[in-house]
Amino acid sequence: MNHSVSPIGIVHSCFKEKFAIPRQPQLAPAARGVLELLPPFNQGDAVQGLEQVSHVWLLFLFHQALEDKPRLKVRPPRLGGNKSMGVFATRATHRPNGIGQSVVKLERVEADRLWLSGIDLLDGTPVLDIKPYVPYADSVEDAFNGIASAAPALIAVRWSDEALVQAQVHAQRLGEPLVALIEQCLAQDPRPAYQTPAPERQYGACFWDVDVRWHYPAPDTITVLTVVPAAA
Ligand code: SAM
């Protein structure tokens, strides 16, 4: 059976590239975005009642990881990128139908848009459906996962004086918790697990409209070096 699906909305996210997006939602509460609803879902009727809900499930398309050939095994970054695992045992982005799911906080409901936080979604992500989080059914008390048993360990994030001032200025201009966003995302240690970073090597990622650069003065510490406007 073939069945086609179409997006009900598009996410406008703080994350402009895949690198440095947390591996799951809720890991960076300062990660915010807006889900713009598309016709005919943007008139208010479809979201009526959602103001009584704190969190929603988003079913979405990994639109920047779609592939024609199905993969049966994947190498999840969480396992260091060098151990393969059945695709259905992982939350990897390369999936048979390219479908992702994230539970995110609903900050505000408007007729044609939902304001979200705690997201792990790339800018432009097409959303296929929205469902309310139902605490009594969606939270399983005795659940376990031997592959991903706990949230990834955090690493220390420090700032150069220059970068902190730059981030504070951009935070004020954007009206966004940019300092917290950078700290929460970098604390997840975005570099691939197999890379041992030389202190002179710089890494970078774009959040909102700024480029953030950092390095690892020691393997378990990040120092943010600069926060400057991204090239247009
Ligand atoms: N919570 C979702 C799930 O379990 O289905 C996503 C988990 S996946 C491991 C999270 C990663 O997906 C992020 O770190 C980001 O790099 C990537 N990602 C987010 N949105 C994407 C998109 N639209 N296309 C491709 N990759 C995306």
Percent of the chain at pLDDT exceeding 70: 99
Domain interval for residue 204: 156-229
Mind listing the pLDDT tens digit for each residue in 37-48?
A: 999 999 999 999
Mind listing the pLDDT tens digit for each residue in 57-88?
A: 999 999 999 999 989 999 887 777 778 999 99
Q: Is the residue at 38 inside a domain?
A: yes
Distance 162 CA to ligand 1 centre (A): 31
Q: Is the residue at 145 inside a domain?
A: no
User: Is the domain of 130 the same as that of 220?
Assistant: no
What's the pLDDT at 193? 73
> Cβ distance 122 to 109 under 8 Å?
no
> Cβ distance 167 to 5 under 8 Å?
no
Q: Is the residue at 221 inside a domain?
A: yes
What's the pLDDT at 212? 98
**CATH number of the domain within which 14 lies:** 2.40.30.70
User: Is the domain of 197 the same as that of 90?
Assistant: no
pLDDT band at 194 (very low <50, low <70, confident <90, very high): low
**CATH number of the domain within which 162 lies:** 3.30.2310.20
Q: Is the residue at 3 inside a domain?
A: no
Counting ligand 1 atoms within 8 A of each CB, the residue from 17, 23, 74, 93 with the most, and so the one to mutate, is 93
Mind listing the pLDDT tens digit for each residue in 124-143?
A: 999 999 999 999 999 999 99
Distance 42 CA to ligand 1 centre (A): 25
User: Is the domain of 17 the same as that of 132?
Assistant: yes
Q: CB count, 10 Å around CB of 204?
A: 16
Distances in Å between the alpha carbon of 104 and those of 33, 39, 82, 113?
Answer: 10, 22, 30, 14
Which domain-ending residue is among 138, 172, 201?
Answer: 138
Number of domains forming the structure of the chain: 2
Ligand 1 atom nearest the C-alpha of 24 is: 1
Which residues have CB under 6 Å of ligand 1? 18, 21, 23-25, 62-65, 91, 93, 100-102, 120-122, 125
Distance 174 CA to ligand 1 centre (A): 24
pLDDT band at 154 (very low <50, low <70, confident <90, very high): very high
Provide mean pLDDT across the span 75-103. Answer: 89
Which domain-ending residue is among 76, 107, 138?
Answer: 138
Terminal Cα-to-Cα distance of the chain (whole angstroms)? 44
What is the token pair recorded at 149? 């048993």
Mind listing the pLDDT tens digit for each residue in 6-25?
A: 999 999 999 999 999 999 99
pLDDT band at 187 (very low <50, low <70, confident <90, very high): very high
Provide mean pLDDT across the span 205-221. Answer: 96
User: Is the domain of 70 the same as that of 162?
Assistant: no
Q: Is the residue at 181 inside a domain?
A: yes
